[in-house]
Amino acid sequence: MRTLVAVALLGAVACGSGNNPVNPAYQPQIINLTDSFSFQLTGVQDGAGSLSYTWQNTGTRATVDRSSSISAGTVTLTLKDSAGATVYTGPLNGASGSVATTTGAAGAWTIVVDFTGATGTINFRAQKL
């Protein structure tokens, strides 16, 4: 399902107090397809809050490709499997390249992106492994 507007609106609702990191000025590109999820925000200024997405992964593992440029604050990415177990968590600050999640249960995974005073471009992709 390729519904950028709906996903962006969901993200806006999921944000806590602070500066909404899915402001249209940040050119959100969030694509949520079965077995492939990609996320990019450009030029975020002091982004704060938490975004949560449900992602269908038909496999039991995923690769996470990270390529962000964050000059201030922090952004943490967490993936949970369909049973709610954390299969990956890590900062997107200064992290690049691919990492694999631990083994989890196939189905509806949860992707959580936490922002704390984040400034920069946030970019990652998760794909079934």
CATH code of residue 54: 2.60.120
pLDDT at 114: 96
Say if residue 8's pLDDT is above 70.
Answer: no
Task: Return the SS3 of 7.
Answer: helix
> Domain containing 13: what range?
4-128
**Number of domains observed in the structure of the chain:** 1
The pLDDT confidence band at residue 27, using thresholds 50, 70 and 90, is confident
Average pLDDT, integer, range 23-29: 83
Residue 93 corresponds to which tokens in the numbers above?
């600050």
Mean of pLDDT values over 52-76: 97
What is the rounded average pLDDT for all residues in the chain? 86
| Burial of 5: CB neighbours in 10 Å, binned 0-12, 13-18, 19+ | exposed
